[in-house]
Amino acid sequence: MLNRRLFLASAAATLATGCVSSRQVAPQPAGPTYQGRPIAPEYLQMYRAMPEERFPIPAVDLSKIDPAYYRRLVDYYSPEPAGTIIVDTANRYLYLTMEGGKAMRYGVGIGRAGFEWGGRARIQYKRAWPTWTPPAEMIARQPELEEFRNGMPPALDNPLGARALYIFEGRKDTLYRLHGTSEYWSIGKAVSSGCVRLLQQDIIDLYNRVPDGTPIIVRQA
């Protein structure tokens, strides 16, 4: 009788265990996600914090940015020579052309309607942690910027961010820049006053890849 009771108790435990296992919840991603999809570790590393910078840069919250705008190497045919910057304002991308039909692609934010610039020019020079000097026309529209007429010192909240590339047509400064931003929500949108903005980590990457004199083409939408 004792053995029969032990057998029945063991069978009941086995059935109960089987019932529990059949109702297990699917495992959840351990790391950050975008709309429920895991973010690949290489992107977390790509957009890591950069404490080594003059002004430490925090990691990007990639859960708030469409992965379509993460930096990546893509297939890209262009008649332009390798080493040309092409800004596709309609699709909010910047391409740096490479050999073999490839390009490094970056997500960007572009100028609001009425402030866009487009054309063929070059990067006259570039600066790390630049001073921002608003144009007189901008100060006229936004008098609160008067205090920066002679320049706003470098800082993480400086509108030019960690790096700036200065666009010239011939010898003329267009007053437009490729620059960094901490406003991650602006990537993929038309929000700034004419300049092309990239995430801080992306503008640093681009800055390190291109020399002064790099040709640039900005295609208007």
Q: Are 39 and 63 in contact (CB under 8 A)?
A: yes
DSSP label at residue 79: S
**What is the C-alpha to C-alpha distance for residues 181 and 66, in angstroms, rounded to an integer?**
16
Q: Which of 179, 187, 201, 217 is catalytic?
A: 179
Q: How many C-beta atoms surround the C-beta of residue 220 within 10 A?
A: 13
Helix (H) or strand (E) holding 73, with range, is strand 72-75
179 is annotated as an active-site residue: yes
14 is annotated as an active-site residue: no
Q: Which of 110, 167, 187, 195 is catalytic?
A: 195
Q: Cα angle vertex 99, ends 71, 48, to 5°?
A: 20
Nearest CA among 187, 165, 185 for reference residue 176: 165
Three-state secondary structure call for residue 97: strand
Residues annotated as catalytic (active site), given as ranges: 179, 195
